[in-house]
Structures are given as C-alpha cells and as structure tokens.
Amino acid sequence: MSGHGNPIPMTARRSGPLTGVAEVPGDKSISHRALILGALAVGETEVTGLLEGQDVLDTAKAMRAFGATVTRHGDGHWTVAGVGVGGFAEPADVIDCGNSGTGVRLIMGAMATSPLTATFTGDASLRKRPMGRVTDPLALFGAQAYGRSQGRLPMTVVGAADPVPVTYRTPVPSAQVKSAVLLAGLNAPGETVVIEKEATRDHSERMLRGFGAAVEVEDTAEGRLIRLTGQPELRPQRVAVPRDPSSAAFPVCAALIVPGSDIRVPGVSQNPTRNGLYTTLVEMGADIVFENPREEGGEPVADLVVRHSSLRGVEVPPGRAASMIDEYPVLAAVAAFAEGRTVMRGVKELRVKESDRIDAMARGLEACGVTVEEDEDTLIVHGLGADGVPGGATCATHLDHRIAMSFLVLGLAARAPVTVDDGSPIDTSFPVFETLMAGLGAPVARD
C-alpha cells in the first residue's frame, strides 16, 4: 500500500494504574529477515510469532513477487517455500514496500546480485527516505539503480549478472545497510566483508548462520568485521520470533510514568544490540526486573516486570545510540516526566527515519508544554517531574508509528489529554496496540 487511508486521530487520557500482562507482538526486524531468508532457502521454512504488521505483510507480498510461496496458517504462523540463493524470479509488477525502510533496503540487497530488474516504491514517508546508502554499496557488486533525485523511491534496481564480492565499511551506523550488503553477498562468489564502526543489531548475522551460511564476526580496532562466504545453499529453518523490544518499550514506558502501575511483559528479546533503552531506563531509576532470562529462537529473552517509578534525567552516551535507535521518541516522552534534563546526543540518524524524529518529538513536546533543545545531532528534554507535564495538545505524527505511540504514552500521564492527528501508521509495527493498552487499563482510543 503506497498510500494511507483516512487519518485516524487518537487520544490518550490520564490513566489509572496499568496492570496485567502485555503480550507484545513479534520482533519486526526478525520477522522481515525470516521471510527473506526463508525465500532464499531451498525448501520450507516455518515461522511462528511472525509480526503481522503492515510492514512485514508488505515484505511477504514482495517475496511472493520474487517467486517464493508464502502461506499464512494462523496467527503468526507462516511458511515460506524458498527458491534458493540466486533463484529469485523477476517480479511482474512494482514492489510496494509501504512504510518500511527495512523491507525495501533488505529486499534490494537480496535481489541485487541476480540478473533481474525490479522497481520499488512506498508510501509518502518511504519515498522521502535516502536509498543511496544501500544502492552505493550494491553498485560495488555490479548492480545499477535508477531512482529520483537524492536516491529517492520510486527506484529501479538492475541486478548484477556477474556479481563480484565486496568489502564495505558502512559510513552510517545502519543494520539495514549492513544487512543489504550481506544479503547481496549471498549470491556473489567468494567472501563479502562488512565493517561497521559501531555494532548495530545483529539479527541478520545470527539468522544467516542459523540458515547454514558461513558468517564470522570479529571485533577489531576498526570496529565489528563480518565475513560472509558467498553462494551457500541455505537450509530451511524453524524460526520462533521473540517479542519485539521496540514495541515492548511502549507499555513499559507507560507503566513507568503512570502512578500505581505494575505490569508484566513476557518473552522480550534482550539482544544486547537492541537493549539500550532498558539500560537507560534503569539508569533513570526505573523499577524493571528482568525475570527468567533464557534463549528462544537463537535470541536471549526475559520476562519484564515493570512498576511505576520516580525518574531522573540522564545523559545517554552517544555510543549507545545504535542499540536504542528506534526508542528515542518514547524515551523523549518519558524524559518529560523525569526530574532534570535528559540529553540525547549522537542521534542524527533519527532525522531519516519514518519521519524526522528529532523534529517531530521536539514540536510535539513543545505543544504539550515541555521545553526542549535540539540541534542536528542532539535532543535535550527538560523534565517536569512526575506530575508536571501539561499535555492538552494535538501532535503531528508524520506517518510515523513510533511518534504516534510515543505521544499516546505521554498522554496517559499528562494533566490534559493528548491527541495524535493520525494513529493509522501504528498498524505497521504494532497492530494490537490499542487493544493491548486497553487490556492494561490505559484509556487510548480513536476519536
């Protein structure tokens, strides 16, 4: 879906204590990868706990267009009959990745070393986002890309007929770029190497190994070095998708700021390349207990018990940014209820997400009566304490699910209700957000 339907305004009101169990959906990053690697394996991959958000559904549709058989059997239970590395067919139509940067960038990587042509597009948000960060390294393999100015979608990628392997230093900390290069490397002969200065989420490396690819990871003076041996035969897998720590962040943060709350969030991924928000919240004084640490589907997970807490502002170390890049919006919302300033530096990547998230949070927080400071690479929120946030505003979400959910969380503890102009993008990553929050007792509703 390259457009959105009518906007859905939603409002959150000051809430009584949140209680109960929040079973958040499957991890979005892992869900995309399970479908794509399933499509590149020989045989049938079974996925349970798949996130059935629009972003992932768009990737499922894309994998069908490239020749895989993708079947839904029940809630989160899917199979993918793959075509093998190098086995993609040329899609008969434009691939519409909707709102999903991860979907489009990973799929471009996966097809870039096969002799076929595909044209990609997306919604108004995705069509603003930079694709050059992916098409630059894909060109080194021999692929060509023709898009709009500044590397924007719609874009046609002509895959390399005789791909060569690549060694690539990622210029921006991006798991999407790293993953696109690794997926392209699958159908190149020899060894493809990615070097990233700061470690980003490592689901691709973990899952590629699970599917039988030779992937070696080494921490070096230059950063993390990942080596992939090309042209493996990928073996189909059973993938159990853990719950998404980025989605869990919303009920967790709501419980922290709503007085009297006490909730349980079971089975949340604790992958160290994803858990920066939780480290930060604990530093702020959050009462979060991590129970039953265990391994599920190749990822560390734990059950979280979260209680309302008095929070203090902190300086988030810039080196932590990659491990919590999607969580800065909700951290900014929570920081409004802390005592003192919360300083977020080294966050300029937020400007090229589903929206310019520094700008979207700064404008919405100001409208809610919170003082912020920002520059290109920084967001500072001046906390007003547990009961000090006025609220009473309508915040613009700019087709960004995480901006919408962050302001709805803020509204649960603000003095006056907070409205978001459009909650429809929440479907991309957290389709059960409204019912899950209602189940905890949180008054979040469509207007």
The residues with which 98 forms a beta bridge, in sequence order, are none
Say how many residues touch ligand S3P, by CB under 6 A.
Answer: 10
Task: Compute the least distance from the CB of residue 390 to ligand S3P, in Å.
Answer: 30
- The site map against ligand S3P for 349-368 (x = CB under 6 A) is x-------------------
Task: Compute the least distance from the CB of residue 326 to ligand S3P, in Å.
Answer: 5
Residue that is written with structure tokens 């921006």 in the block: 172
- Identify residues 188-247 at the interface with ligand S3P (CB under 6 A): 201
**Eight-state DSSP code of residue 7:** -
Specify the stretch interacting with ligand S3P by CB under 6 A; choose among 12-20, 171-179, 182-190, 405-413.
Answer: 171-179
Determine the distance from the C-alpha atom of residue 150 to the mean position of all C-alpha atoms in its chain, rounded to a whole number.
23
Q: Give dist(CA 16, CA 258) in Å, integer.
A: 7
Whether 426 contacts 54, CB under 8 Å: no
Q: Tell me whether residue 45 or residue 176 sits nearer to ligand S3P (CB atom).
A: 176
Give the orientation angle of helix 245-257 with respect to helix 276-283, to 10 degrees: 20
Rg (Cα) of the chain, in Å, rounded?
A: 21
Amino acid letter for position 142: G
Pairing between β-strand 215-220 and β-strand 223-229 as defined by DSSP bridges: antiparallel
Q: Give dist(CA 290, CA 265) in Å, integer.
A: 10
Single residue of 11, 31, 102, 270 touching ligand S3P by CB under 6 A: 102
User: Which residue of the set 123, 326, 422, 427 is catalytic?
Assistant: 326
- Identify residues 310-349 at the interface with ligand S3P (CB under 6 A): 325-326, 349
Q: Which two tokens stand for residue 49?
A: 């706990």
**Nearest residue by C-beta to ligand S3P?**
29
Q: Is 406 in the site for ligand S3P (CB under 6 A)?
A: no
Contacts of 317 (CB under 8 A, 6+ apart): none
Specify the stretch interacting with ligand S3P by CB under 6 A; choose among 43-51, 83-91, 172-180, 310-318.
Answer: 172-180
Whether 52 contacts 44, CB under 8 Å: no
- The site map against ligand S3P for 273-312 (x = CB under 6 A) is ----------------------------------------
- Say whether 326 is catalytic: yes
Single residue of 179, 247, 269, 271 touching ligand S3P by CB under 6 A: 179
Task: Compute the least distance from the CB of residue 40 to ligand S3P, in Å.
Answer: 17
Q: Tell me whether residue 205 or residue 434 sits nearer to ligand S3P (CB atom).
A: 205
- Identify residues 13-72 at the interface with ligand S3P (CB under 6 A): 29
Q: Is 176 in the site for ligand S3P (CB under 6 A)?
A: yes
The residues with which 225 forms a beta bridge, in sequence order, are 195, 218
Single residue of 174, 192, 237, 419 touching ligand S3P by CB under 6 A: 174
Distances from the Cα of 22 to the Cα of 303, 306, 316, 439, 444, angstroms: 10, 11, 27, 8, 15
Specify the stretch interacting with ligand S3P by CB under 6 A; choose among 87-95, 173-181, 209-217, 249-257.
Answer: 173-181
Q: Tell me whether residue 203 or residue 308 sits nearer to ligand S3P (CB atom).
A: 203
User: Among candidates 144, 152, 84, 82, which has minimal Cα distance to 115?
Assistant: 144
**Eight-state DSSP code of residue 75:** T
CB atoms within 10 A of CB 291: 11
Q: Is 248 in the site for ligand S3P (CB under 6 A)?
A: no
Phi, psi at residue 110, to the nearest 5°? Answer: -65, -30
Catalytic residue numbers read: 326
Residues binding ligand S3P (CB under 6 A) = 29, 102, 174-176, 179, 201, 325-326, 349
